[in-house]
Amino acid sequence: MDEKSIYIDLDGVILDSEQRMLERKFDVGFHDHKDEKQYDAYFEYTNMHHEEWDYIIRGAKSINNSVEIIRELQQLKKRISILTKVHTLYEMKVKVDDLRNNRGINIPIIFVPPGVKKHQVVVPNGEILIDDSIKNIKGWINNGGIGYVFDESILENDKAKVKSLDFLLKG
Ligand SMILES: [Mg+2]
């Protein structure tokens, strides 16, 4: 059988950018992280303040060696891609620039625009998604994919959750 393709989320799996975005959002006055409208307002704000994305992405740290593991996987010519949500075009530009020029990652990057689900951009068809969003994983599995929730805080991997990408090096 053909080797499965693996899709990896960026924010909150490869980089700790999710956390940094929440901190910046809070700092500019959008304090309620449960209110969808506050996210919309913050992303609108970032359209006029590009430095937000520079701070969030360029300063982010690799989570549990994810960047280093991806560099190894790309050397092994594994079929891996990044599947990442973007909110603005500038965010998209910074992500490409940072991954290619600062992190040594050269696998394909697939962007998911606002209002679209990951499983709509890539049809799951038995392929693997690793994502820290339970919602994304549910959508992926319900549409015929194999999904693992990434959670850096768990002690050990189980059938549904992984704490690091290193299991991909063993497969
Ligand atoms: Mg994420």
pLDDT interval class at 1 (50, 70, 90): low
* CA 29 – ligand 1 centroid, Å: 22
Q: What domain range is 147 assigned to?
A: 6-16+61-170
| pLDDT digits 0-9 by tens, 8-55 | 999 999 999 999 999 999 999 999 999 999 999 999 999 999 999 999
Ligand 1 centroid, distance to 33 Cα (angstroms): 15
CATH number of the domain at 152, please: 3.40.50.1000
- Using only C-alpha atoms, what is the Rg of the chain? 16
Average confidence (pLDDT) over 133-145: 98
- 51 and 89 share a domain? no
Residues 145 and 112 in one domain: yes
The pTM of this model reads 0.95
* Residue 135 CA to ligand 1 centre (angstroms): 10
The reply to whether 124 and 79 lie within a common domain is: yes
Q: How far apart are CA 71 and CA 34, in angstroms?
A: 35
**How far is residue 115's CA from residue 140's CA, in Å, rounded to a whole number?**
16
The per-residue pLDDT for 171 is 66
**Domain assignment present for 1:** no
How many domains does the chain fold into? 2
Cα 17 to averaged position of ligand 1 atoms, centre (Å): 9
Centroid of ligand 1 to alpha carbon of 19 (angstroms): 10
